Structure 1
């Protein structure tokens, strides 16, 4: 995208340094603060105006000083005007100022520590120990303060030139109460006495050159746990700390252990030492995203960085390890080298996602994380990219304010999936060498997708740009349809849409598709041939066994002939875990699009009912967690789509029960001493789905444990089974169970307990309880960051998704918009999760009509995704209901 196609600030001036001073923090009431920023500038063009970014700030005054021919002159802005929609302020001067290599713009301003999880904001929490006396508080909560500037919210905290390629250095100081702690990107430089008794001024070292969105600071009643890197950097082992509010620091040790190891690992594979003198991780009690990669001061949602060995669900170990690695990857890829413009956001997020999993695999090879990646990341990316309202990985962004809606599964998950595909094709070592060369060539600067492709082409000797360009700049992905002939197969590529109605003009892309073909012995090496035409014939195929897209490294669906699909299902012991996941995922998607059938999908996964027994001979249970996850997710989608047909719904429930019962009974309820992590995850997954499918023994045991837990036996439910037990209890237990879980939400000190409770409460079965839960979700008792989690649970529940939509319509102006629109990321996410589970043309029309005349700025892309997803599901239901009913009847499930 050319710079002329971007709505950017005038190029009159270029910032080189910001000297920011924050003081007079009002820790209560209006939560205002005063600030002064002195910006060192290079004046590129003579002018009478300077335009910069501000949002919800009041500029008190501005003065420009210039050094021109070694003489200094200064002038105060005679007028300050604001463009609220564009989030800009114009500083006008009476006389034209000349071009100058040195100038300083001195601005005094006032801001607010808001409650929107954007800019400089406040997070409410209930302390677990007595906090410092000066901590801000009200009748119910205490407050900490931190920043969230990506993508365009540095301008909420101080006037600045808030675009990613306008890099500068930053000096920062802040005046705070003496008994609190201030943090920023760099180490403390000095602490001075404040303007009043009880206050201190904390100043920090100058940062490297970086983008405004990576600046960060925080103030609060913090404490920390500390460790050091094993590698030395400039002769020293770097300090790595996890900061929390007082009383929680010990729950940071798990993240701490991973952090210093990951910093060392990335320093090795990128061949560039971590460039800052310290690494801080901060747990924030309210946070709109999962985490934010601010250079040297990474901020996290509590559930993404804290873990309590005694109280936390074990599955959060995986989450913490991955999110820690993802954000640390950004310290190089994103921070050291930054995308030139927001259209290339995927460069940051896609790469950090892939290399984050690479680091977790390095630290935990026993977790088999690439199977998890295929089951979760790859399949989720497929889901969004198989609708018309998807977007290319590299999406044109004219105005930076549009960018928040592309922090989505395409940028993160499709981006990481095509990087995984490319890395598998080039080889990891070659790929990482190219990445290292790219980072070295552009460090402390900005770069484009083509810059990365050039570095990878040089490292590999292949024209990476040529075969990757369609994957990055075109919408969608292909399905490869195979036709068998004696000794050979025909392979045809075409665009895949879940609606199954691809138009000729939508199918003009020819992708480079690495086939990863295995033929004959299943453990043979995969061939590196690629499909580069719309149709090709592949010869010398051993018909006894063949499989393409080995380990699901390619970002495409495969449509096998029906007989071959059955053979692969029967021979699944010869397939890798990733291949089994891909087989299931492809069969489910092709059934929905009409390229396959639901009968074929159900017949395939029916083979897996003995999966745990079948695999125990040659591998451990841990290798099938992600296979079961894929089966349950895919089957759950089918059950959701057909949920309004009571006969089909009952038949699919019977099918699900029969499918999961053998494995559930085998894995049991008890956790063995030092049992591996994935076996515990498999147990929770199977128990939850067996109970929700009507397994009487599981329901009875869950209700027994739930009753004992509510009677005061805190150990009655294993922490890693809290989620399935709560979900089953709420589903079966009505009002009493609902109130008990709601009480747990209000009283738990467990970091992940609130999230688990909200998701479980969404299992209510009556309209009355659904309404009660929605009123609770939108009450002050629930943090705004968590509303979408509860809504997603209600939407996934066929009994309550209609009540959720009615609530949105009835309360749009009074609750939804006022509560969520302060941060459009939160609102857009809420709408996607609340509405995309319907499978009804009538509901789609109702949604379209409701939003038709509303200002959809900030969530229009989300509504487009909802509309396409519902259309695809409704077409599937209409087309396949009869066939599904027939198959279920023929196989004894009706």
Structure 2
């Protein structure tokens, strides 16, 4: 595998970094000076040292060596850069001796950029008067923090920026006296600087870790604090949530979760949290959801802050999960790190699964495994059913390729496959194997095979033999069922959304846990797994059977149409996860041609009396996608709207508008979901009441007229129905909201504009300085989901790519890839697919080329589906009175 990687020469190996940053310019160019001293082992004689540096200016470098007790010093006489490879070569003009004791001192200059990568600045509008020294411009103040994963430590200081080149770190920061500095480890010393008004903060030495986990932050911070209940080395660990001043109280919910989760993971991993503190930091501009820097975890504000009175309840769920996910990384990723980025899934897939495990432990009433099936499993299916998917473990050559695999395959398919394996082995056995793996490889690097070996030993089963294809092969199977008296035949093949799998694409024989329950008591069948292309399963009770119980297996099931109807009628015997899987499978099989869209429509009609939010969420997400696909077919589009209206009307009228004291979380979420979809389907009573509440709220007459959780639904209805006036009111709300989640909610609503002039106005707004770079893809997503705006968005991309979009977004390829993939994948037109392909064929697409392939595959599959099923959908809608 190493030969496939574009990695640094192996002539030197770092063991320790001492980093000192000073002369930080808090305005204008935001530059800084730095010195890094790197302790090295020189393993091979050479005249040069190659290391990573990106957008840094190296002033000079000197190497000191100790060889046979003789000290020598070498000055770099030639410093050259390779911008494409993000490397600097230090030429010394003479051979450097092989030695285990060498020290490289580099003086350099960098920039605190605004790209949300490396050492960067985040703008914000303070809620209280900041410290005088805080950097500011006319409208915003700034905090400074880092984001080094995957390959951006090299933007902040010269280093050997690869995950298996672990080292220890000392960090020293010169900052204004009235600000706070944070890093991975606790503060060691604070001393006065020689510069007036400045101080120098140094931190304890870190454990050995990868460069991407190093972090520091500087700002006008405050915090809330609690302590673990367990003792670590005889002490209760301090756990803090840091924010810029004025926001700390909104960190209390995250804090309440964090200290308990640290104890929970220490218990189930049978390995204590290894650092002396846990800090969580809210960062105002952030490209991802959060980052697991060891001991200093950074978060997008909406992923860590929550206000019980102002925030939508859905963000409570989000905060709890993201806190758990990042804390899981403190063991799985930080303590034990993947050897190379091709095994990113080892970090992300596991942290996703165990994050949900923790939330299920603390919030069993949330039914998080139902949420997992609806969100993680179904979302992973969507991407993995494309030809241009990739295996969970995927070859990665260099930095630009790494960022593109932080996707639903690494996170959601990875976690789904782990859930499947854990269900097969049992959670207790699985976690015992994980604990053994962590103990065996702590403070080091490991591979997928290392994990399989530990799990095999713990379970007594050859885990690699049945999991290898799931990790290293592309795609997943559909299991097609054929019924015979007293038995069923099952056949597996690769599932593609286009339904046209070729023989050479269908050579994998997956190990598939059958999860068959049958008979009046839904007894678990003795056959546990399918291990060949076709098998016959005997002793199946025809009165009732269901494959893939609780949807723990990562595959779709294609039942005969009559059986699908029977399962719909017997839905009272199904778990929440089973219902979600049944609906999701029927929808996807209709698109692929294994089934028909009419089978899905007939099935969901039987769920009209359903009262579970997670099941409704799956139904309405799938139905919404069908409506979007047929949005260009006028008569079918109108009929599908009538179908949705009839489907949701009884449920929305039953649940009502008011949130009751003591009402459970899922009921509140169901209310939000149903009101939003009933409004989009044209429910007159819902639209009238939403409009009334909107006018009271936006006029200032009654700010309690809209419950915080209903802002999104009501704002969307208002913008759809209310034209310029409603658009202006929500845009004003965007600029004035004090709620942490307010801007996200407003952006999603503003994308519902219905006229070309308002679409143009919204696009201009998205790309104005008023909207942070991190949020621009949210604006694109809301327009892409709007049939009245989709083509205008594509036209905007074409007309403004070179002058606006690429210059503004390409500084952070994660943001650019997300904008392109989300913004352009909602079409169902071969013509548009050709236009997109032709347009980007003339562009440099490195860094988002994988996203473009996903767009192409998605749009073409939706177009082929629309053309194939249009007539039969029209016929069914007509026969059932909707046309």
Give TM class, smaller chain. Answer: over 0.9
> Do structure 1's residue 681 and structure 2's residue 669 form an aligned pair?
yes
Is 1:342–1:400's contact at 8 Å kept on the other side of the alignment? no
> Do structure 1's residue 796 and structure 2's residue 785 form an aligned pair?
yes
Aligned to 1:114: 113
SS at match of 1:609: coil
Q: 1:388 Cα deviation (Å)?
A: 0.3
How far apart, CA to CA, are the structure 2 residues paired with 1:625 and 1:472? Answer: 32
How far apart, CA to CA, are the structure 1 residues paired with 2:660 and 2:140? Answer: 40
SS at match of 1:729: helix
Aligned to 1:621: none
Aligned to 1:335: 334
Q: 1:527 Cα deviation (Å)?
A: 4.5
Q: In the TM superposition, what whole-angstrom CA distance separates every residue of 1:194-245 from its partner, at most 9, and x where no partner exists?
A: 1211100000000000000000000000000000000000000000000000
> Do structure 1's residue 635 and structure 2's residue 623 form an aligned pair?
yes
Aligned to 1:851: 840
Query: Structure 2 residue aligned with 1:691, among 643, 659, 679?
Result: 679
TM-score, scaled to structure 2: 1.00
How far apart, CA to CA, are the structure 1 residues paired with 2:520 and 2:309? Answer: 47
SS at match of 1:611: coil
Q: 1:45 Cα deviation (Å)?
A: 0.8
SS at match of 2:831: helix
How far apart, CA to CA, are the structure 2 residues paired with 1:25 and 1:657? Answer: 59
Counting only pairs closer than 5 Å after superposition, residues 409-488 of structure 1 correspond to structure 2 as 409-488=408-487
> Do structure 1's residue 823 and structure 2's residue 822 form an aligned pair?
no
> Do structure 1's residue 841 and structure 2's residue 830 form an aligned pair?
yes
How far apart, CA to CA, are the structure 1 residues paired with 2:486 and 2:520? Answer: 15
Is 2:400–2:846's contact at 8 Å kept on the other side of the alignment? no
SS at match of 1:165: coil
Q: 1:522 Cα deviation (Å)?
A: 4.3
Q: 1:678 Cα deviation (Å)?
A: 1.2
Query: Structure 2 residue aligned with 1:703, among 691, 712, 721?
Result: 691
Is 1:518–1:527's contact at 8 Å kept on the other side of the alignment? no
How far apart, CA to CA, are the structure 1 residues paired with 2:193 and 2:16? Answer: 24
> Do structure 1's residue 772 and structure 2's residue 771 form an aligned pair?
no
Is 1:291–1:300's contact at 8 Å kept on the other side of the alignment? yes
Query: Structure 1 residue aligned with 2:648, among 638, 660, 672?
Result: 660
Aligned to 1:809: 798
Paired residues in the alignment total 882
SS at match of 1:273: coil
Counting only pairs closer than 5 Å after superposition, residues 386-401 of structure 1 correspond to structure 2 as 386-401=385-400
Q: 1:528 Cα deviation (Å)?
A: 5.7
SS at match of 2:414: helix
What is the CA RMSD across the aligned residues, in angstroms? 0.6
Q: 1:15 Cα deviation (Å)?
A: 0.3
SS at match of 2:201: strand
Is 2:522–2:544's contact at 8 Å kept on the other side of the alignment? no
Aligned to 1:99: 98
How far apart, CA to CA, are the structure 2 residues paired with 1:376 and 1:125? Answer: 31
How far apart, CA to CA, are the structure 1 residues paired with 2:519 and 2:829? Answer: 45
Structure 1 runs (4+) deviating above 3 angstroms are 525-528
How far apart, CA to CA, are the structure 2 residues paired with 1:422 and 1:186? Answer: 35
| Inter-CA distance 522–565: structure 2 relative to 1 (3 Å threshold) | farther
Counting only pairs closer than 5 Å after superposition, residues 249-264 of structure 1 correspond to structure 2 as 249-264=248-263
Q: 1:853 Cα deviation (Å)?
A: 1.3
Aligned to 1:579: 578
> Do structure 1's residue 65 and structure 2's residue 53 form an aligned pair?
no
How far apart, CA to CA, are the structure 2 residues paired with 1:887 and 1:190? Answer: 74
How far apart, CA to CA, are the structure 2 residues paired with 1:158 and 1:195? Answer: 23
Aligned to 1:617: none
Is 2:143–2:219's contact at 8 Å kept on the other side of the alignment? yes
The answer for unaligned runs of 5 or more in structure 1 is 613-623
Aligned to 1:619: none
How far apart, CA to CA, are the structure 2 residues paired with 1:716 and 1:129? Answer: 27
How far apart, CA to CA, are the structure 1 residues paired with 2:662 and 2:405? Answer: 42
SS at match of 1:608: coil
Aligned to 1:266: 265
SS at match of 1:737: helix
Aligned to 1:669: 657
How far apart, CA to CA, are the structure 2 residues paired with 1:778 and 1:126? Answer: 19
Q: 1:97 Cα deviation (Å)?
A: 1.0
Q: In the TM superposition, what whole-angstrom CA distance separates every residue of 1:296-351 from its partner, at most 9, and x where no partner exists?
A: 00000000000011100000000000000000000000000000000000000000
Is 1:165–1:341's contact at 8 Å kept on the other side of the alignment? yes
Q: 1:398 Cα deviation (Å)?
A: 1.6
TM-score, scaled to structure 1: 0.98
Q: 1:4 Cα deviation (Å)?
A: 2.0
Aligned to 1:649: 637
> Do structure 1's residue 878 and structure 2's residue 879 form an aligned pair?
no
Q: 1:890 Cα deviation (Å)?
A: 0.3
Q: In the TM superposition, what whole-angstrom CA distance separates every residue of 1:124-166 from its partner, at most 9, and x where no partner exists?
A: 0000000000000000000000000000000000000000000
Is 2:522–2:545's contact at 8 Å kept on the other side of the alignment? no
Aligned to 1:620: none
